[in-house]
Amino acid sequence: MAIKLKAEIRNAAGKGAARSIRKNKNIPAVIYGEKKAPVSIELNGRDFEMLLQTPSLRTKLFEIDTANGQEDAMLMDIQYHPVTDNVIHADFKRIDVKKPVSVSVPVEVINADVSKGLKLGGVLNFAVRKVALRGLVHNIPEKITIDLTNLTIGDSVHGSDLVLPEGVELGLRQAELAFATIGGKMPEEADSAKAAPAAASDAKK
């Protein structure tokens, strides 16, 4: 679902103008891309700060209403003050909602508490926590989940194993990445490893 945002057109540019905007508790921003001239805008600071609590904000479509009409865009960058951590600037990139976009979304593991492998004493190695995807912005999910329930010791989940929404595909070089692995030894292997030194000791007696 698109996030609707209202913005004022900024006619003045430069550091002085940006400081004046921030002094009024608002945020200077820019919309660029799609072979159109960049547009400098001003966002309501309070409203935008509240938006930052939205999960996976950078996978969302923004419908930005300005005096020049609506801009379809995605949030590309946020700049923060080095001391106060307040937002001091935001960058939006125009998109064509009819064309696929490339974004990275978080990967999350679920059902660790009932995982076969973890119950057997295995150790989870959650190595890659973001995946690059490509698809229409309305089809891009907020996150991708890996279900650990039926994974046992020695199992790995690669990019090619991830469950993706219809119309969404993996980005380049994602298919062979091992996102999660359950390492360790199966109980019988561990018992055999312990028994071997004991057998060798008995043989020497």
Note whether 139 and 103 are within 8 A (CB): no
How far is it, in rounded angstroms, from Cα 93 to Cα 22?
Answer: 22
Q: What is the pLDDT of residue 185?
A: 87
Q: What is the pLDDT of residue 203?
A: 52
Instruction: Work out the burial of residue 102: count CB atoms within 10 Å of its CB; fewer than 13 is exposed, 13-18 middle, 19 or more buried.
Output: exposed
State the chain's mean pLDDT as an integer: 90
Question: Does residue 191 surpass a pLDDT of 70?
Answer: no
User: Residue 83's pLDDT band (boundaries 50, 70, 90)?
Assistant: very high
Predicted confidence (pLDDT) per residue in 4-44, tens digit: 999 999 876 677 788 889 988 999 999 999 999 999 999 99
Predicted confidence (pLDDT) per residue in 116-175, tens digit: 999 999 999 999 999 999 999 999 999 999 999 999 999 999 999 999 999 999 999 999
User: Average pLDDT of 179-194?
Assistant: 76
Query: CATH assignment of 3-94?
Result: 2.40.240.10
Note whether 43 and 26 are within 8 A (CB): yes
Return the number of other C-beta atoms located less than 10 Å from residue 91's C-beta.
17
Which residue is listed with tokens 């904000």?
57
How far is it, in rounded angstroms, from Cα 68 to Cα 202?
Answer: 87
Question: Does residue 192 surpass a pLDDT of 90?
Answer: no
Instruction: Work out the burial of residue 69: count CB atoms within 10 Å of its CB; fewer than 13 is exposed, 13-18 middle, 19 or more buried.
Output: exposed
**Could you tell me the residue ranges of all domains in the chain?**
3-94, 101-186
**Beta 101-110 vs 130-135: how paired, if at all?**
antiparallel
Q: What is the pLDDT of residue 190?
A: 52
3-state secondary structure (DSSP) of residue 70:
strand
What are the backbone dihedrals phi and psi of residue 201, each rounded to the nearest 5 degrees, phi first?
-65, -40
Residue 203, H or E segment: helix 187-204
- Could you tell me the fold of the domain covering 101-186? RNA Polymerase Alpha Subunit; Chain A, domain 2 (2.170.120)
Q: What is the pLDDT of residue 16?
A: 76
Q: Bin 86: left if φ > 0, else alpha if -120 < ψ < 50, else beta.
A: beta
